[in-house]
Amino acid sequence: MPDTAHASEFMGRRVLDSEGRTIGRLVDLVIGCGPSPCVSRLRVRTPKGLHHIHWDHVKASDPLTIDPERLVPVAGGPELRPDELLLSGDILDKQIVDTQGFKVRRVNDVRLEKAGKRMVVVAVDIGLKGFARRVGGLGLLRLIDLIRGRPWVDTEIPWTFVQPLGGSESSLRLTRPWPELAKLHPADLADIVDDLDRHEQMALFRHLDNDQAAETLTNVEDGEVQEKILDDLGPERASDIMEEMPPDDAADLLGDLPKYKADKILGGMEKDEAAEVKELLGYPEETAGGLMTTEYIALPSRLTCGETIELLRQQSPGAELIYYLYVVDGDESLLGVLTLRDLIVSPPETVISAVMKSPAISVNVADHQSEVVEVMAKYDFLAVPVVKDDGTLVGVVTADDIMDVALEAPRPLRRWRR
């Protein structure tokens, strides 16, 4: 057997006994998915049906010679173990997740390498060359090589970065390795989610905890895809996930849903969180109110810097941004703003109203998002407070919420593509 080989070279090969008589044809390779996935058994179709034979009973690989006594019929015997894969049935021609490039790819071929006595799966081929090898079009590719003056290289993904998704037939067996995907960053997961089909998306979300699911869902770019996933997850799970989201993201998502669905999800959420989201839903999407989050830190002006630091430490607030602390009076009117820096460098006994910047620059809830962008760009703010007409602080718009608006602004045509 050569040191390196492609799956395409094996499938359909004749299987012989020691006397050189044809016993059947090789239809698949069983891969044990250990740390080094190697060929554990061969699947051979003989006139008597499908059989397995252990790799140890393969006497030679070219021509493929086995000991026919060792063939085990597939029907009746144990099928595949949960950690086993069929190279052709589960991998070849199927879609996999490239966990390094965060993309869903279709497998054109699989490369195996000899390691000691075993054949180990090293990489999947997703390129045109693999496809050409499969369909017998390598000659054509060589012709193109001649014209181009350089050879066409293999496009491979190392097996370590491959997450099989499994076709419909093997999805049950393959749900096991999915938690591997859950280790990826939610932003990268979101890229993958877009490429998965509906069933795969649901399988993935089943393996994510609510927090991961919330972050992943927020990062999915296509609003329609977001809605559909939320819908598929069912109102109960959707409520749980929504509770983990910053209220502004939750409001953005719910705002796009039909009202009866949004109400159902809101109904399943904890009262406080639901109330915040509902309040945000009341503002038009393209205004400061529609962009803002209600999670911010507001402090009464009589606190000292020391007390404030102690308070922050005790309560460890869940606000997105704790760099800016807003100072309010009894009516929640915005008096001034205090940075974390001001707080730390001031003597502990100083009253915060003495160190805060006042009046604080703010925007009105009804201001258009472009004005918010302008204010933030002008003053280099990471966040800007949002007030009502009477001066009450109702929320903050953070830089990450405004980023998409800022990026889109100069190219109106981009709006077509979300």
Partner 1 sequence: MNRTLALTRQRAQSTWRNMLLFLAVLGPGIITAFVDNDAGGITTYSVAAATYGNRILWTVIPMTIALVVCQEMSARMGVITGKGLADLIRENFGARTTAVLMGSLLLANMANTVSEFAGVAAGAEILGIPRWVSVPIGALLVWMLIVRASYRAVEKVFLVLSFFYIAYIISGVMARPDWGVVGRAAITPNFTLSRSYVIMLIGLVGTTIAPWMQFYLQSSVVEKRIRVEEYRYSRLDVIVGCLVTDVVTFFVLATVAATLFTHGVKVETARDAALALAPLAGKYCAVLFAFGLMNASLFAASVLPLTTAYYVCEAVGWEAGVSRKLGEAPVFFGLYTAMIVIGAAVVLIPGAPLIFLMLVSQVINGLLLPFILIFQLALINNRRIMGRYVNSPLQNSVSWATTVIMIAMSVVLVGVSLFPGLGGGG
- Binding residues for partner 1, rule: CB under 8 A, are 92-95, 103, 105-108, 126, 128, 131, 134-137, 167-169, 195, 197-200, 222, 224-225, 228, 231-232, 258, 260, 413, 416-418
- Closest-CA residue to 265 (of 293, 295, 237, 227): 237
Length reported for the chain: 418
Question: Of 33 and 92, which has the nearer Cβ to partner 1?
Answer: 92
Cα(154)–Cα(182) distance, rounded to whole angstroms?
29
Q: Give all strands of the β-sheet with 393-398 in edge-to-edge order.
A: 363-364, 383-387, 393-398
Smallest distance from partner 1 to CB 66, Å: 24
Q: Report the residue number, 106 or 142, with the smaller CB distance to partner 1.
A: 106
DSSP for 14-34, please give it: EEE-TTS-EEEEEEEEEEE-S
Distance CA 166, CA 89 (A): 9
Nearer to partner 1, 224 or 285 (CB): 224
Please report where in the chains the tokens 């809830």 appear, as a residue: 365
Residue whose C-alpha is closest to residue 294's, from 312, 304, 280, 313: 280
Nearer to partner 1, 168 or 315 (CB): 168
Q: How far is CA 77 from CA 72, 170, 264, 331, in A?
A: 7, 18, 49, 76
Burial class of 193 by CB neighbour count within 10 A (0 to 12, 13 to 18, 19+): buried
Q: Which is nearer to partner 1, 103 or 368 (CB)?
A: 103
CB of 103 to partner 1, least distance (A): 8
* Residue 234 beta carbon to partner 1: minimum distance, rounded to whole angstroms: 12
Nearer to partner 1, 167 or 300 (CB): 167
Residues 6+ apart with CB under 8 A from 411: none
Least distance in Å: CB of 63 to partner 1? 22
Q: Residue 65 CB, nearest distance to partner 1 (Å)?
A: 26
| Cβ atoms of residues 296 and 392 within 8 Å | no
CA distances in angstroms from 319 to 149, 247, 288, 324, 407, listed in the order given: 58, 10, 18, 10, 24
Q: What is the nearest approach in angstroms of partner 1 to the Cβ of residue 197?
A: 3
Measured from the CB atom, the residue of 164 and 247 that comes closer to partner 1 is 164
Pick the closest to residue 365 from 397, 326, 400, 320 (CA basis): 397
Q: Which residues have CB under 8 Å from 26's CB, separation 6+? A: 10, 11, 12, 13, 14, 15, 42, 43, 44, 64
What is the nearest approach in angstroms of partner 1 to the Cβ of residue 128? 7
Q: Measured from the CB atom, is 92 or 277 closer to partner 1?
A: 92
Q: How far is the CB of 90 from partner 1 (least distance, A)?
A: 11
